[in-house]
């Protein structure tokens, strides 16, 4: 086991760094998604009819998702060789500076085709930086925590995801109150520029952190054991493929459920059910608050009963609840009923899947390849399932003539993939975080029961 049993003060600093950094990541990404729907299709991609302009704006949104695995690969390797803390400072700056720069992107009217080119480049840079942010924050949190509380400490980056969504939606809710002419001229730029505040806070916290004790110990052991020579990338693709596949499969239903609720649902409520524009955002806001509470609770529960039982519960619950979920939404069409359905889906289903992930995914990989394996595999899953879910769900509703049952079956299929991957994967609670080989990692899994204090 690692020699580091972090003090309460250290754990709090690491938790704060993980929370703020993860919040910045998703503040940036959610800002872009909102601006793509409300602004970029009107001032950047204007040399096209409205439908084509909107599609072009959302295509740049997808660029960020599909380039994130590259960021996970590049910065993951650096994180496994030069340290977790250093890479998290770099990714914070890469991600933050590109977001602030978006506040100054010229319009199509000002510079013509250069406007979309500049925007796409900034979006790509943002995605590369974000590709390692969650993974790095989760790893540093878990590696700095005592074995008995890794699930709880590893849940704070997940809480940061939902905090970022809240901050971004709140920022855009404020600037959309401006007159439309002012909003399109300069108001939309304010939330992007304001991310400099979050960058400054996160950077201040991260510069004060110590390097992960588990990483330092693994580096010492690797130097003393020259037979362990596999580079992080080689180790993942040659020796730790099973861990990567377990992660991708386990991540799939969480991505699908999250994007059904956070992205697809609002469009479905307005476009198919003809409800007010405010119903979806209100339900998502309430569910976001609820999920921020349940995530650390499920993370802590995984410290007591194991990672797999909690994740499998979340997956199974989500599969069983999806038809009642749509029955409530389609049947009641009431703001209260819809809000309850979304709160339960996100707070219970996604909360149980996402809460233990920081610890679960970190414990799947050896110390030599942990950052690379976690960041790259998670972003591959995000690109395949998260980035495509809204488009697939919209197409399925159209194929079912406006009905939701095909979307429900799609969710169940994703849950089946996740359930199989998690069930076939190992229980990881309490594993040694400085293990250098898959065999050593597997052998370090403690028996069921309370972990030593």
Q: What confidence score (pLDDT) does residue 221 get?
A: 74
Q: Which domains, from first to last, does the chain contain? A: 8-443 (1.20.1250.20)
Mean pLDDT of 231-256: 89
Question: Of 241 and 281, which is predicted with more confidence?
Answer: 241
What pLDDT band is residue 6 in, cutting at 50, 70 and 90?
very low
Reported pTM? 0.87
Residue 19's pLDDT is what? 84
* Residue-wise pLDDT tens digits, 306-340: 999 999 999 999 999 999 999 999 999 999 999 99
| For the chain, percent of residues with pLDDT exceeding 70 | 91
Whether 4 has a pLDDT exceeding 60, the answer reads no
d(CA 66, CA 71): 10
Distance (Å, whole) CA 363 – CA 432: 8
Query: What pLDDT, on the 0 to 100 scale, is given for residue 306?
Result: 95
Query: Which carries the bigger pLDDT value, residue 12 or residue 105?
Result: 105
- Summarize pLDDT for 132-172 with one digit per residue, the tens: 888 888 998 999 888 899 999 999 999 998 998 888 888 88
Tokens at 342, concatenated: 């979304």
What's residue 228's pLDDT?
A: 55
């Amino acid at each position: 086991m690692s020699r580091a049993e972090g003090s309460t003060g250290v754990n709090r600093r690491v938790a704060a760094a993980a929370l703020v950094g993860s919040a910045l990541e998703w503040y940036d990404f959610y800002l872009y998604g909102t601006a793509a729907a409300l602004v970029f299709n009107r001032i950047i991609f204007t040399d096209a009819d409205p439908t084509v302009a909107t599609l072009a704006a959302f295509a740049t949104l997808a660029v960020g998702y599909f380039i994130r695995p590259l960021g996970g690969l590049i910065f993951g390797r650096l994180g496994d060789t030069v340290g977790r803390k250093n890479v998290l400072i770099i990714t914070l700056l890469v991600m933050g500076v590109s977001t602030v720069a978006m506040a100054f992107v010229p319009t199509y009217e000002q510079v013509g085709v250069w406007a979309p080119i500049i925007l796409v480049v900034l979006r790509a840079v943002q995605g590369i930086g974000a590709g390692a942010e969650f993974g790095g924050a989760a790893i540093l949190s878990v590696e700095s925590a005592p074995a008995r509380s890794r699930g709880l400490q590893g849940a704070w980056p997940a809480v940061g995801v939902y905090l970022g969504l809240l901050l971004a939606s709140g920022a855009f809710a404020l600037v959309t109150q401006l007159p439309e002419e002012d909003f399109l001229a300069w108001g939309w730029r304010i939330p992007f520029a304001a991310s400099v505040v979050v960058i400054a806070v996160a950077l201040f916290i991260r510069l004060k952190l110590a390097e992960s004790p588990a990483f330092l110990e693994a580096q010492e052991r690797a130097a003393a054991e020259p037979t362990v020579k596999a580079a992080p990338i080689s180790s993942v693709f040659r020796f730790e493929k099973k861990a990567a596949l377990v992660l991708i499969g386990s991540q799939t239903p969480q991505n699908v459920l999250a994007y059904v609720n956070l992205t697809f649902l609002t469009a479905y409520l307005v476009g198919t059910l003809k409800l007010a524009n405010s119903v979806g955002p209100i339900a998502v806001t309430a569910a976001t608050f609820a999920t921020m509470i349940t995530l650390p609770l499920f993370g802590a529960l995984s410290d007591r009963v194991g990672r797999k039982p909690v994740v499998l519960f979340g997956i199974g619950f989500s599969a069983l609840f999806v038809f009642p979920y749509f029955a409530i939404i389609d049947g009641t069409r009431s703001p209260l009923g819809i809000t309850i359905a979304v709160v339960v889906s996100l707070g219970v289903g996604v909360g149980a899947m996402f809460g233990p992930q920081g610890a679960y995914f970190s414990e799947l990989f050896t110390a030599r390849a942990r950052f690379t394996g976690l960041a790259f595999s998670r972003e591959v899953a995000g690109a395949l399932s998260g980035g495509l879910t809204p488009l697939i769900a919209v197409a399925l509703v159209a194929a079912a003539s406006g009905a939701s049952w095909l979307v429900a079956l799609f969710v169940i299929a994703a849950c089946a993939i996740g359930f199989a991957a998690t069930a076939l994967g190992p229980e990881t609670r309490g594993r040694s975080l400085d293990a250098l080989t898959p065999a050593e990692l597997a052998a370090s899994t403690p028996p069921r029961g309370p972990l030593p204090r």
